[in-house]
Amino acid sequence: MSNTPASFDAFTALIAQIAPIEIDAAALTRESTLAGDLMLDSISLISLMALTEERFGVSLSDQTEAVANLRTIGDALDLIDGLCAAAV
Amino acid sequence: MDSGRDVASESLVSLFGRRAEQSPAPAAPRCSEDTLTVFLSDSEVRLLLAGRNGHCELPPLLQHLPPGLRQLRVVADYRSFAPFCSIGSFTQRLQASLPGARNGAVALQVFVLGNDVAELPRLAADEGELQPALDHLVAAIGELIFEARRRADDHFGRAPLTLPDEAEGAIHLLPAGAVAEFLASRAHALPPGAHLLYAMPVCSRRALVRAVAEAAQIATRDATGAMPVDAVGELLQLELNHACHHHQLGRDAELAARSDADVQLHAIGARDSVDWQQRTQAIVQAQLAAHRALQLPVFTRLPGLQWRQAGDDQVPYLRCGHADQALLLVNAFGLTLDVWHDLARRLSSQFRVLVIDEAVAAHDQRSLSPTYYDDADALPRYLAAVRAVLQAEGLAACHVAGWCSGAKYAIELARSMPESVASLSLFAPSFAGAQEPEGADSAFETNLHTMCKLVERMPQAAANMASSLMAMTAKAGGAAPAPREDPLGAAVYALADRQTLPWQQAPFSSSGHMVAYSRQLLNFRAHQISLPPAAARLEPPVLLVTGQMDTTTCNRRAQAICARLCSPLHFELQRAGHYFIQQNSALISRLLDAFVRHGMHTESPHPRLARVAQSPEEMLVSGEL
């Protein structure tokens, strides 16, 4: 799966399920920060990662360091992209 | 013959002795043929003031004065009567009550100590021993510093401690030797009546704080218009003002006496007459060493802790202390008992501290304790366990203290067995999931709920989630926001510290823990506390304590629910987070002890514990309009 608008929309739809604040999907970009703009703490971030694994069919079991270093939506999409490509 | 000379400096301390009611001062009077010097304890002064019609109830010490006595010197602490009467008034009452003094046969001199005596142990230290007021203040200032450093060790590198201005006053202490010398060599030449002995300053507040900061190896600065006093500095000011007023380290007595024409004032001692620098260095260096030692408290290593069993079901529980009055601790589910360690240690001398924790009591700390919310029978099982423990201990009732999610179980205890709950203390209570219109789940509670629902739905994901969460919290733990986001540096008090961070991580340290914790949390949220009018109000007196900076749970909701359940006595701990039972255990133990003794009339033991009025009427009574 490439880093496409579809995957962007799919990922941001997951954010809406776990974010503690109302999300304006139209305002989100790759540069939107997970902790700052979306106010995701570590608990909500791992919830997001669990939903990501389920939605995109990837495993983050070997990516704990990468997950801990995620800063933006773009970082997350790139990680998902890499895992999907490796799985192909 | 003047007996004043037989009052030696060591006798001053030994004669005053301990202030505690349990250990009344062994005030053996020193006397010679015609002069007697008597040191009165606080309780003896209160007895004196309890008299009627201007007369005092004389303590045994003063009821039978030696025949031939010509001069009587009574020495008392200003603080012991200042809330009730002036120095002149106190002297007049004593004069009127002493037969010999009334008819002029005995010349009465009343010497009031207007400041604390430097060497006199009177305040409870960390280990229960009494320590002098200056040592207590130095330790308190040091604790403010290390309270911040435990959260962010580099805090003062980014936000140096604000020093008090030189004009903010000094620390005044009476050297014991100087007081004794005065009584021995100068008192005989003074007229009868009231005399105030007040201390010259031994150091400025600024010098004392700077010395503490240097010993703690932190940076300091002066407050400026661009960079005013920050959050830590505000607490420091609070502590200094409290100590100077409450522990007689300031000029309260001197200033009051200057407006009383019946009182003669005498300055005692000199600057640098007390070796405060060395004492400061020793106290703070010990605190620094403890800070560097990184020792985490372990509940099961409390001195004197016993593992016991109760009833036919062999309910396992822990006991620490042997006092007649018992205190049952109700922990939060999923968290270690270690969070109660310091508080239990402080309280175990006054209370028999009891805890029911199936995992700890069974010496099995590999799993989360199933005591609370593990299954549908957890609550009835717990209530039955408490009954069994009370019976095993021979107790008709106990005091109960619940923290965080433990508040719901504590409330159910008070509701189901009100005759067995003498009082209820709720610390940072969580009512996450409650259907109370006021307040809402905190962001943390909301996110935690989302995560736990996911774990319940996808338990196979728990392992990945646990390892990711551990990595993230290890990366972020203790990092304070940059100064531009938090100019007063108050956010440091919302951070986990080195002790609380591992406890927060424990429920997520493995997939097994995560699955168990998620189950417990969902059961906890489903547990709704019945509120009036659907259920009766709570009968026992209730103490509610919330942390001003608590971001884990919603204080407003806790206050609203407790107000419907009862009329709690509510205190808010300034600059405190969710874990204040551990991080501020000294203050909490003092408050809880006072609440058990004074109930709903409990006053705050320290200005950092601010009373929260429950209603406009209560604000009227307290005069805060």
- For B112, the token pair is 């009031």
Q: Do residues B107 and B65 make contact, with C-beta atoms less than 8 angstroms apart?
A: no
pTM: 0.88
Count contacts between A and B (CB, < 8 Å). 72
Q: What does the alpha-carbon distance between residue B497 and residue B499 come to, in Å, rounded to a whole number?
A: 5
The answer for residues whose C-beta is within 8 angstroms of residue B403's C-beta and 6 or more apart is: B329, B330, B331, B332, B339, B340, B427, B428, B429, B581
A53, B468: Cβ pair inside 8 Å? Answer: no
Q: What does the alpha-carbon distance between residue A59 and residue B193 come to, in Å, rounded to a whole number?
A: 87
Which range (B343-352, B368-377, B408-417, B518-527) has the least confidence? B368-377
Q: What does the alpha-carbon distance between residue B334 and residue B307 come to, in Å, rounded to a whole number?
A: 21
Which range (A61-70, B33-42, B254-263, B351-360) has the least confidence? B33-42
Looking at per-residue confidence, does B463 or B569 come out higher?
A: B569
* Adjacent-strand bridge partners of B563: none
Mean pLDDT of chain A: 86
Looking from the CA of A68 toward its CB, the CA atoms found within 13 Å total: 18
Q: What is the DSSP letter of B68?
A: T
Burial B16-44 (b: 16+ CB within 10 A, else e): bbebeeeeebebebbbbebbbbbbbbbeb
Alpha-carbon separation of residue B267 from B8, B52, B518, B526 (angstroms): 19, 33, 66, 66
pLDDT in tens, B573-601: 999 999 999 999 999 999 999 999 999 99
On the question of pLDDT at B538 being above 70, the answer is yes
B461, A50: Cβ pair inside 8 Å? Answer: yes
Min Cα–Cα distance to chain A from B508, Å: 10
A61, B467: Cβ pair inside 8 Å? Answer: yes
On the question of pLDDT at B131 being above 60, the answer is yes
pLDDT in tens, B72-130: 999 998 988 898 899 999 998 888 888 776 677 788 999 999 999 888 777 666 555 67
B469, A60: Cβ pair inside 8 Å? Answer: no
pLDDT at residue B352, rounded to an integer = 97
Nearest CA in chain A to B504: A43
pLDDT at residue B128, rounded to an integer = 59
Name the residue among A39, A41, A50 with its Cβ closest to that of B465: A50
On the question of pLDDT at B195 being above 80, the answer is yes
Nearest CA in chain B to A62: B464
Could you please report the per-residue DSSP string of B27-55? Answer: -PPEE-SSEEEEEPPHHHHHHHHT-STT-
Looking at per-residue confidence, does B419 or B65 come out higher?
A: B419
pLDDT in tens, B135-178: 999 999 999 999 999 999 999 999 999 999 999 999 999 988 88
Q: What does the alpha-carbon distance between residue B262 and residue B90 come to, in Å, rounded to a whole number?
A: 11
pLDDT in tens, B377-414: 899 999 999 999 999 999 999 999 999 999 999 999 99
B427: confidence class by pLDDT, cuts 50, 70, 90: very high
pLDDT in tens, B247-290: 889 999 999 999 988 999 999 987 777 889 999 999 999 999 99
Looking at per-residue confidence, does B70 or B148 come out higher?
A: B148
A64, B454: Cβ pair inside 8 Å? Answer: no
Nearest CA in chain A to B462: A50
Q: What does the alpha-carbon distance between residue B619 and residue B608 come to, in Å, rounded to a whole number?
A: 19
On the question of pLDDT at B33 being above 70, the answer is no
On the question of pLDDT at B18 being above 70, the answer is no
In a mutational test of the A interface, the residue from B453, B455, B464, B473 whose CB has the highest number of chain A CBs within 10 Å is B464
Q: What does the alpha-carbon distance between residue B7 and residue B71 come to, in Å, rounded to a whole number?
A: 15
The answer for residues whose C-beta is within 8 angstroms of residue B619's C-beta and 6 or more apart is: B613, B625
Nearest CA in chain B to A47: B451
Which residues of chain B approach chain A closer than 8 Å at the C-beta?
A: 443-444, 446-448, 450-451, 454-455, 458, 461, 463-465, 467-476
User: With contacts defined as CB-CB under 8 Å, which chain B residues touch A65?
Assistant: 471
Beta strands in B245-379 (DSSP E): 263-268, 306-310, 315-320, 326-330, 352-355
Mean pLDDT of chain B: 86
Burial B407-445 (b: 16+ CB within 10 A, else e): bbbbbbbbbeeeebbbbbbbbbbbbbbbebeebebbbbb
Name the residue among B450, B471, B476 with its Cβ closest to that of A44: B450
pLDDT in tens, A2-24: 456 668 999 999 998 888 778 88
Name the residue among B450, B455, B475 with its Cβ closest to that of A18: B450
Name the residue among B455, B461, B472 with its Cβ closest to that of A53: B461
Q: Which of residues 4-63 of A touch B (CB under 8 A)?
A: 17-18, 20, 39, 41-47, 49-51, 53-54, 59-61, 63
- β-pairing verdict for B35-39 and B71-77: parallel
Alpha-carbon separation of residue B49 from B53, B59, B74, B97 (angstroms): 11, 11, 14, 11
On the question of pLDDT at B483 being above 60, the answer is no
Residues listed for chain A: 88
pLDDT at residue B624, rounded to an integer = 35
Stretch B60-79: mean pLDDT:
84
Nearest CA in chain A to B448: A43
> Which residue from B168, B182, B166 is spatially nearest to B273, judged by alpha carbons?
B182
On the question of pLDDT at B432 being above 50, the answer is yes
On the question of pLDDT at B180 being above 60, the answer is yes
User: With contacts defined as CB-CB under 8 Å, which chain B residues touch A42?
Assistant: 469, 472-473, 476
